[in-house]
């Protein structure tokens, strides 16, 4: 099955299951699904980051990091999820949608969220070296831009950060054992940047 069909099928299935979720636990439920996507990225040799785009209680786009697997520098989970959503909606705007992602977006992804008119961003772990929603920059709600969104960080932060720490620990262990470069240079760059720092609310 192609990645495009995989994401479309996943979005339909999860949308049916989670559409009725309500209350303060809703963000946690969606983030757990994003974590499952992050695990899929790790299984394919990519840095474990997963993202969901939700509108009217249903998933309209889903994605995980594909940069190493696809050899695409723009293959971040947020961008993959946005592309899937825009194909489903047959337009470039996703007004009213919420983006759930396990790691704070980088400048490229934060800019894409602004351009797509995402209404709300919910992310898990802070990114101390590339975070562009709160940590280094505040692109998503910068008053100088033509669109701003609500931002909520720290949802299941520790569980999100733990995926990244475990992934990089396994890469280092393989290198010590002489089993090659793991997920490649791109993952090494991410490892250098990500310190596993997570704050606010977490739930393993």
Q: Which residues are catalytic?
A: 78
* Of residues 135, 177, 166, 172, the one with CA closest to residue 47: 166
In angstroms, how far is CA 102 from the centroid of its own chain? 5
Collect all residues with Cβ–Cβ distance below 8 Å to 88 and sequence separation of at least 6.
Answer: 8, 11, 60, 61
Separation between Cα atoms, residue 25 and residue 30, nearest integer Å? 9
Separation between Cα atoms, residue 47 and residue 127, nearest integer Å? 13
Give residue for tokens 């249903």.
58
Separation between Cα atoms, residue 180 and residue 26, nearest integer Å? 41
CA distances from 198 to 123, 156, 157, 195 (A): 11, 9, 6, 9
In the Cβ-directed half-sphere of 102, how many Cα atoms lie within 13 Å?
Answer: 35
Separation between Cα atoms, residue 75 and residue 41, nearest integer Å? 11
């Amino acid at each position: 099955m192609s990645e495009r069909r995989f994401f479309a099928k996943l979005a339909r299935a999860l949308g049916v299951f989670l559409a009725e979720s309500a209350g303060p636990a809703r963000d946690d439920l969606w983030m757990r699904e994003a974590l499952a996507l992050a695990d899929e990225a790790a299984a394919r040799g990519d840095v474990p980051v997963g993202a969901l785009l939700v509108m009217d209680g249903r998933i309209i786009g889903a994605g995980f990091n594909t940069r190493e697997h696809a050899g695409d520098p723009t293959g971040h989970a947020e961008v993959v999820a946005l592309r899937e959503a825009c194909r489903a909606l047959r337009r470039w705007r996703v007004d009213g949608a919420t983006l759930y992602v396990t790691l704070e977006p980088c400048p490229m992804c934060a800019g894409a969220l602004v351009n797509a008119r995402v209404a709300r961003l919910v992310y898990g772990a802070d990114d101390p070296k590339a975070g562009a929603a709160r940590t280094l920059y505040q692109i998503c709600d910068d008053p100088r831009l033509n669109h701003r969104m609500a931002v909520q960080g720290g949802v299941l932060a520790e569980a999100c950060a733990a995926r990244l720490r475990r992934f990089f620990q396994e890469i280092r262990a393989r290198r010590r054992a002489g089993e090659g470069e793991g997920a490649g240079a791109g993952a090494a760059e991410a490892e250098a940047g990500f310190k596993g720092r997570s704050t606010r609310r977490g739930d393993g």
